[in-house]
Structures are given as structure tokens and as C-alpha cells.
Structure 1
Amino acid sequence: MVNTMETLVTMSHIDAVVRDPASVMAAIESRFSCRAFSPDRPVARQKIEEILRVASRAASSTNTQPWKVYVLQGDRRDALVAQVCAAHDATRDNSSLTAEYGEVDGYYPSEWVSPYIDRRRDNGWTLYGHLGIKKGEKDKMHAQGQRNYRFFDAPVGLMFTIDRVMGRGSLIDYGMFLQTLMLAARALGLHTCPQAAWNNCAKIVLPFIGAGANEMLVCGMALGYADESAPVNTYRTSREPVESFTRWI
């Protein structure tokens, strides 16, 4: 016997019509790494839960759903910021401390090659130029780097972990979850900034959030309302044209 309710639920997502395709495209096109948030505009827990609920519909191989999310607000957010900023200052004064705070598992390649290193450098120096930071201005670079560890003043900080036992395919799943989360945030008028910088302080972050010994940090993310008056939020990264990364077979 066919379960009528189950059939209705199944058919509803098959037959669903995206009535406003332009809004879907706009959510994708308007997503950017926001680097200045309005600290005095809190985000209601209900909104955060709705964003996470929608993001949970992201695809994952065999429905493994490998994501684990830790939400930081208020005093706990501020306490983590204080700890990590202190560590960041300490590593500036003593570079040998970097290994003490960093994640064991590498995030970036052990050796950079073109065209990736070229894009990375262009992004970094274009952003610094946008902020008026010149080459060699180490104090300004340090201060801007530390903006990551202040969640760019966003009232909500998110930390994402994964069980170490999971394979690299689960990190692909995780990427789809993160992108879905960021687009869901746009649908509710919010902005985000995914942050690999937090991995440099994983040994502080993981015990602070109560992560298990089997978990590794994937990244952090700032979530909130963009500061529309901040010049840094006018910065927009370039993208390669479709023909440069596509082959029609």
C-alpha cells in the first residue's frame, strides 16, 4: 500500500516551481566575503536556525551529512575572539609559536603553482590596495589579518568541524553545505564571510567550543548584516570566464 503522505512529500519537491529564478540567481551573484558587519544589529536565533535548516538540505554522498556546527554569540563569541587575538599577537612577536596554535591537517597546498598562486596574490594585493595597505606595512597587515579573528565585527560566529575518520569526499559535501548556508543567509538579507584563517588557531578553537578529540576544524564563518558604509564591502573579486575552465566534449 502506498503511503499517500509520503507520496505527496516526494512529489512536492519534484514538481516544485522556482517562481522567481531571478532571486535565486541574485542570491548567488550577491554573495561575497563580507569584511565589515554591523555589530549592533543582532541576528535572531530563529533566523540562524532557519538558515541551518535550509542548509541541511545540501547534497552529501549517501546522505552522510558530515557537518557539525557550533554557533557563537555574545559573551562566548567575545571570549573566543579575545583568546585568539592574543595568540595572533603572540605569534607576531614570536613566530615559533605558530605551530603551537595551528591545525595539524593542512588546508592549503604544500606547494603553490600557477595559475592558483597568481590568483591568490592578485586577490591579496588588490584587497590591501583597496584598504590603503602598502607592501611592507606589516603592522597594518597584521591588524587587517586580525579582523578575521574578530569575525569582522559580525555578531554571530560559526565554527564547522568534521569527524577525522571521514574521507576527502566528505569535504566536497561540506563545501556544498557551506555554499547552501551562505545562499540561505542572503535570502534572509544577511551576509557571510567564510574564513579559513581560523584553522591557524584550531588548537584554541576546538577545546573552546567543546569539540571532540575526533573532530577537525573545517573553517569558521562570520554571519550578520553588512555594514553598508564600509568601503571594504565594495571590493569584489574577479572570476574566470566560463570558456577558460570549460571544455565541451
Structure 2
Amino acid sequence: MNRLEPTPALPAATLQQAVDWAVVSRRSIRAFLPTPVSRDEVFAILDVARHTASGVNTQPWRVRVLSGASKERLSAAILAANDNPALAGDLREPYTYYPEQWVSPYIDRRRKVGWDLYGLLGIAKEDKPGMHAQHGRNYRFFDAPIGLIFTLDRVMQAGSLIDYGMFLQSIMVAARARSLDTCPQVAFTKFHQIIATELSIPDTEMVVCGMSLGHADPSRVENTLVTEREPVDAFASFLD
């Protein structure tokens, strides 16, 4: 695709609706069908996302695309550690994603999405094994046929994480345009060292997050979860 091509010869309303739909319909899917996603499809998505803006065109993203045996090996290695409490103290995240001290309204939103999900799945607050098992599904990429691991060169700073967020959004929107679904997963950062070993990632890079990619399983109740979003007036000020 030529970046200087004119706007596609479509009615303006159709073009707007297509873009808006791809953004608004994106949700974190937590159960996927085994329907294959071809290498060509993944390549096409990344080929669109590579045009994401980045500070002074640094393009700081690195992507490992996993499927088949490579995905299964990584999942097995992470799950072995995740299910072993003795290893918990040895795990170090490469960067701090969440706040060290939660305050409202962020803690309220976090709790709500958690309990809404567990409520759909019938997992009670006191069911710690059930919560652990559900969280562990992250490391199976929720059974998606494609798993993505994103890394960043450690010399880069916080600005590159902003660039990375735009890159991830581009991937998810491009996936929706192809009727595919995704789930971005910061849960993988805890297992940075295991991932680095399994995928031969050099010490100069750190894991930013993972992502599941595939076709949503419409029969799974967890995929009916629709998280709430604040209205524009709650976060935007228009200054004349």
C-alpha cells in the first residue's frame, strides 16, 4: 500500500463507519476458536501497523510471532513456573506497568472488570484456585492460534512505550478490519526471563507485553463481557 495514495473511492460515510467500527468493536477476547490464521494474514496486519507514528521515526517495536509447536513450548514453560509458588519470588518484571498505589477511579474500574469477568464464569471471590486457573489461560494465549510477543530495546525510554501503545492499537484495529480478534496481555511481562530464554531474546531487549490473535469463540460466556467506557465529557475539556 502506497502511503501517498488518495482516499479510497468509497462514500465518506462508509469509510468513516468502517474505521469507527474497527476501533469500537475491538474487545479483549479470552476464548478463541482453533480456526487457523495464516502467516500471510499476520504479515498483512503487521504490514499495516508498521506505519504507526513514533517519535523521530524510531520505530522501536520488535515482534515474535508464535504458532504451533513454538507457541505450545512457550506456554508450557510459563505455566510450569506460574503453577510453582516457590518460583514466585524469583520473577522480576522488566518495567512497572501498574501504579504502586491504586486510587479511585482506577482501582474501582480494575475491580469491576475483574468481578464482571469472574461473575460471568461463575468464579466466586473466595475461589482462589478458580481465579488462578482462569488467569493461567493468559499463558495459553486463550487457545488462539497465534501468539505475539512484543519487545523493546532497553536503551529506549518512556516515550517509546507511548509509541508502542499506538503500534499495538494499530495491530488490533487492522485485525478487526479482517474480522479477527485480539487480546493484549501485560500478564506476560512477569515471565520476561522465561520468555527470553525460550525465544532467545537478548539481554538488550525487554518484554513489553503479549497478544492473542485469532477468531473469537462465540459460544464462550467470557466473550460476552463488554467493559464500560467513560463518556467524552468525563475526560475531555473543550477550551474556546
Instruction: Give distance in 2, aligned partners of 1:98 and 1:33.
Output: 26
Residue of structure 1 in register with 2:170 after alignment: 180
Instruction: Give distance in 2, aligned partners of 1:215 and 1:111.
Output: 27
Residue of structure 1 in register with 2:16 after alignment: 21
Match of 2:26 among 15, 26, 31: 31
The total of aligned residue pairs comes to: 234
Normalising to structure 2: TM-score of the pair? 0.94
Residue 114, structure 1, aligned to residue 104, structure 2: yes
Instruction: Give distance in 1, aligned partners of 2:180 and 2:53.
Output: 23
Instruction: Give distance in 2, aligned partners of 1:238 and 1:11.
Output: 37
Instruction: Give distance in 2, aligned partners of 1:110 and 1:199.
Output: 16
Residue of structure 1 in register with 2:128 after alignment: 138
CA deviation after TM superposition for structure 1 residue 63, in Å: 0.7
Normalising to structure 1: TM-score of the pair? 0.91
CA deviation after TM superposition for structure 1 residue 108, in Å: 1.2
CA deviation after TM superposition for structure 1 residue 130, in Å: 1.2
Residue 234, structure 1, aligned to residue 228, structure 2: no
CA deviation after TM superposition for structure 1 residue 83, in Å: 0.8
Match of 1:52 among 42, 46, 57: 46
Unaligned stretches of 5+ in structure 2?
none
Instruction: Give distance in 1, aligned partners of 2:91 and 2:4.
Output: 50
> Counterparts of 1:52-71 in structure 2 under 5 Å?
52-71=46-65
Contact kept in structure 2, 1:101 and 1:204, CA below 8 Å: no
Residue of structure 2 in register with 1:42 after alignment: 36
**Which structure has the larger Rg over C-alpha atoms?**
1
CA deviation after TM superposition for structure 1 residue 163, in Å: 0.5
> Counterparts of 1:124-203 in structure 2 under 5 Å?
124-203=114-193
1:16 is paired with a residue of what secondary structure? coil
Deviating beyond 3 angstroms after TM superposition, the runs of 4 or more aligned structure 1 residues are: none
Of residues 100-109 and 30-39 in structure 1, the stretch that sits farther from structure 2 once superposed is 100-109
Structure 2 residue identity aligned to 1:198:
F
Unaligned stretches of 5+ in structure 1?
1-8
Residue of structure 2 in register with 1:248 after alignment: 238
Structure 1 residue identity aligned to 2:82:
H
